[in-house]
């Protein structure tokens, strides 16, 4: 069984400040991890993914995430928030080795304050 | 490349009526997913197709929901009869295979009166 926990359903940051969105996962096998972003009235868009290899993953729009196995975490960061980053962010987990559906977290809504 | 197309974008029906949603995945994507996203929650997988075969429908309320993917391309999701708790956004996604990232359509927002 696998699960995802996103701490904080709402996060507010000032424009130019660091963005940190937290994600912890539970998986009995090595995970595949994803971050998706959802803008209002749109579907989800992939920001970045971790499968194997380098634990620091860079994605689109200046976001990156670090896979920490010892902490079972995959937190999303961006050094400087932009107004256009305001959206809802979903962490998701899957894994290799046969069929396994992707499990999504409940989402974190990011507000950027000018 | 063209993205995942869904229609309609919005639908309002009364409870006990039926409704159908359509999805056209990205060309060449073998895997197609239907998700239900209730306000304030993450997407919940309803059904996953690999080509035109069902891989996972464990969370599909089969007494009222049905889905098909004819010829392994387009797909339709039907609800009959609708209940108030079915009010949600229904998202379709596709991927090259189940290990690859999913590409999402913009969804259909369903309101049940």
Instruction: Please name the residue that has the structure tokens 């107004």.
Output: A83
**Number of other residues whose CB lies within 10 A of the CB of residue A40:** 7
A10 neighbors A78 (Cβ within 8 angstroms)? no
Nearest to B89 by CA among B111, B113, B66: B111
Residue B27 has pLDDT above 90, yes or no: yes
Chain A residues closer than 8 Å to B102 by CB = 44, 46, 102
**Closest alpha carbon within chain A to B101:** A46
Nearest to A64 by CA among A33, A93, A39: A33
At B105, is the pLDDT very low, low, confident or very high (cuts 50, 70, 90)? very high
A2 neighbors A100 (Cβ within 8 angstroms)? yes
Residue B64 has pLDDT above 70, yes or no: yes
Residue B60 has pLDDT above 80, yes or no: yes
Burial class (CB in 10 A: 0-12, 13-18, 19+), A18: exposed
The pLDDT, as a whole number, for residue A102 is: 83
The pLDDT, as a whole number, for residue B110 is: 97
Determine contact: B91 vs chain A, CB below 8 A: yes
| Most trustworthy range by pLDDT among A17-21, A93-97, B48-52, B97-101 | A17-21
A49 neighbors A95 (Cβ within 8 angstroms)? no
Residue A99 has pLDDT above 80, yes or no: no
Beta strands in A39-102 (DSSP E): 44-50, 56-58, 64-68, 73-78, 87-95
B108 neighbors B9 (Cβ within 8 angstroms)? yes
- Distance from CA of residue A94 to its chain's centroid? 13
Determine contact: B25 vs chain A, CB below 8 A: no
Contact: A43, B99; criterion CB under 8 Å: no
Nearest to A46 by CA among B26, B77, B7, B40: B26
Average pLDDT, whole number, for chain B? 93
The pLDDT, as a whole number, for residue A6 is: 96
Interface test with A, best of B44, B93, B101, B103 (most A CBs within 10 A): B101
Residue B68 has pLDDT above 70, yes or no: yes
């Amino acid at each position: 069984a696998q699960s995802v926990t996103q701490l904080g359903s709402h996060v507010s940051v000032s424009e130019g400040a660091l963005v940190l969105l937290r994600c912890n996962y539970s998986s009995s096998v090595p995970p595949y991890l994803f971050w998706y972003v959802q803008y209002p009235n749109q579907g989800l868009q992939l920001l970045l993914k971790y499968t194997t290899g380098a634990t620091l993953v860079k994605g689109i729009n200046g976001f990156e995430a670090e896979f920490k196995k010892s902490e079972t975490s995959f937190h999303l960061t961006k050094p400087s928030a932009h107004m256009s980053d305001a959206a809802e962010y979903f962490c998701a987990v899957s894994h290799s080795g046969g069929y396994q559906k992707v499990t999504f977290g409940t989402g974190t809504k990011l507000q950027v304050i000018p | 490349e063209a993205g995942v197309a869904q229609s309609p974008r919005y639908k309002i029906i009364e409870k006990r009526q039926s409704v159908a949603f359509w999805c056209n995945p990205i060309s060449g994507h073998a895997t197609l997913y239907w998700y239900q996203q209730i306000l304030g929650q993450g997407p919940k997988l309803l059904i996953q197709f690999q080509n035109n075969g069902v891989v996972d429908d464990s969370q599909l309320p089969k007494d009222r929901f049905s889905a098909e993917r004819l010829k392994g391309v387009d797909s339709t999701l039907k609800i009959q009869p609708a209940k108030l708790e079915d009010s949600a956004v229904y998202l379709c996604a596709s991927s090259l295979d189940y290990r690859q990232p999913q590409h999402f359509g913009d969804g259909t927002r369903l309101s049940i009166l």
